[in-house]
A and B are shown apart, each in its own frame.
Chain A
């Protein structure tokens, strides 16, 4: 079997495995599925281009997640700036109705709200681990910290998130009651 074909099959498998994790991570960061799709799309396109032009990067996961992390940050900042204009242009109204996806949105809101209460570095490490399913070594590359520091951040973030999610869920239940 030619090496080019094997490489292409391998690339296909890597892209398929990465896509849901990248979208999930971007969704957790931005809270908007459309933006998450765009951000993940850019990262995967960059990965495919790099793979075809210069061969696979040392860690495709770290390569793609580094791009998504950067783009998601920019998208959040851009959306914060453009939000008033989007309302005027009616772009915000194009998303599916809240009733339709209420349960999912409510859960997403609880989790995102709890995530926002974490420090930025802890949240980043936790999302890359639990949603991105990256290895500790890859996370260390993406966030620019040592592996030990990453492990500590994730452990701390998990404990705090567990308590926060519980708190937020209880709070919501009280509000609904």
Chain B
């Protein structure tokens, strides 16, 4: 019996601890019965924020990629040939020279200096 009372006492203690103030209860009841559109408005606002953030992110990613591609590939190249060399020049004045691999000189690659 004592044990049973002790258990019920714990129940009551828990309940008393979390017993909300009357003012809070009244406020919640009044809002629930009158301000029905509160939750959807919150939700709508959240959806708008998420949509805008996603759109901004997508645009930023798209612009970033576009810029990277611009740097990687020039719009046009002017290619001219001079002898065995090929010169490619882009709009932004960058040049690439393409030609055969230079042959290494055959023989010794040193000089003997003799004093006079």
A interface residue numbers (CB < 8 A to B): 11-12, 15-16, 19-20, 22-25, 27-28, 33, 36-37, 40-42, 44-49, 52, 104, 107-108, 111, 115, 126-127, 130-131, 158-159, 161-162, 165
If A130-B11, A158-B10, A159-B7 touch, does A37 touch B28 (CB 8 Å cutoff)?
A: yes
A-B pairs with CB below 8 Å: how many? 92
B interface, size bucket: 20 to 34
Distance in angstroms from A144 CB to nearest chain B CB is 23
A27 lies within 8 A of B28 (CB) = no
| Whole-angstrom CA separation of A22 from B32 in the bound complex | 13
Distance in angstroms from A43 CB to nearest chain B CB is 9
Known interface pairs A28-B18, A45-B39, A115-B14; 6 further A-B residue pairs with C-beta atoms within 8 A, sorted by A's residue number: A23-B20, A24-B15, A33-B20, A40-B28, A45-B38, A108-B18
Which of B14, B16, B18, B29 has most A Cβ within 10 Å?
B18
Distance in angstroms from A102 CB to nearest chain B CB is 14
The 20 listed contacts between A and B (C-beta, < 8 Å) are: A11-B33, A15-B32, A15-B33, A19-B25, A19-B28, A19-B32, A22-B28, A23-B18, A23-B28, A28-B17, A33-B24, A40-B28, A44-B28, A45-B32, A48-B33, A107-B17, A126-B14, A158-B10, A159-B7, A162-B9
| Whole-angstrom CA separation of A41 from B34 in the bound complex | 12
Let me know if B6 is at the binding interface, CB within 8 A: yes
Distance in angstroms from A39 CB to nearest chain B CB is 10
Distance in angstroms from A24 CB to nearest chain B CB is 4
B18 lies within 8 A of A48 (CB) = no
Chain B residue numbers with a CB within 8 Å of A44 are: 28-29, 31-32
